[in-house]
């Protein structure tokens, strides 16, 4: 306890008001992401993905954003993974982007759907061969006897470097369709700025904006 309770710093990078916000939350997100990329924030497209299974048991992990537009935020994974099974049972999730160098974070919440097989194919075959072999060699989240056993699977696939590799049918894309965004800007004295966009349904183009207490 003594090692952590007095660790703190002030947040003084910027402020956020309603007047600063874009009219659409997607535009606001894109502006902040562009800022993070321009400032070379490490792993700016990394996002925490929080899910809960059919029994309400939560889990969270880091995944990488691969696409986003008005339809939602896309990442790719194995359907047999812990997150894949959780989303099959309870297709709702939340994303969290944290850009510490800018004292900013963005939360995005909504239902999750699978992306089209054609989109999964397009992205899979755009990946480096080593990444394709890794996806095909791994039954993600399942136990394995040893590291050597995993490397043997990988090596067997790599030996066929001149042969086309089919995308595993268990590997594909997920898309979170936003119902709510929260933009958080750290401020001095812990009086942080938190502004939330919400809409009633995916068909609703009107977003209500609220300032939340820190």
- Which residues form the catalytic set? 190
Q: How far apart are CA 82 and CA 28, in angstroms?
A: 31
> Which burial class, exposed, middle or buried, applies to 169 when counting CB atoms under 10 A from its CB (0-12, 13-18, 19+)?
exposed
Residue 97, C-beta contacts closer than 8 angstroms, at least 6 positions apart = 33, 44, 46, 47, 65, 105, 106, 108
Q: β-strands 72-78, 67-69: how paired? A: antiparallel
Beta carbons of 150 and 137 less than 8 angstroms apart: yes
């Amino acid at each position: 306890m003594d090692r952590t309770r007095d660790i703190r710093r002030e947040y003084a990078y910027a402020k956020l008001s309603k007047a600063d916000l874009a009219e659409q939350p997607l535009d606001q997100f894109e502006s902040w992401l562009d800022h993070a990329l321009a400032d070379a924030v490490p792993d700016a497209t990394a996002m925490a993905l929080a899910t809960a299974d059919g029994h309400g048991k939560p889990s969270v992990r880091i995944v990488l954003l691969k696409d986003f537009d008005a339809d939602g935020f896309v990442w790719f994974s194995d359907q047999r993974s812990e997150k894949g099974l959780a989303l099959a049972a309870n297709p709702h999730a939340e994303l969290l982007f944290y850009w510490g160098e800018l004292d900013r974070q963005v939360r995005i919440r909504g239902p999750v759907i699978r992306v089209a097989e054609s989109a999964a194919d397009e992205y899979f075959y755009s990946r480096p061969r080593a990444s394709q072999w890794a996806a095909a060699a791994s039954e993600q989240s399942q136990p394995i006897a040893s590291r050597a056993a995993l490397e043997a699977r990988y090596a067997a696939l790599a030996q066929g470097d001149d042969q086309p590799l089919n995308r595993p049918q268990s590997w594909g894309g997920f898309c979170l369709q936003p119902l709510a965004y929260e933009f958080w800007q750290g401020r001095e004295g812990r009086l942080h700025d938190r502004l939330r966009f919400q809409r009633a349904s995916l068909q609703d183009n009107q977003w209500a904006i609220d300032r939340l207490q820190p």
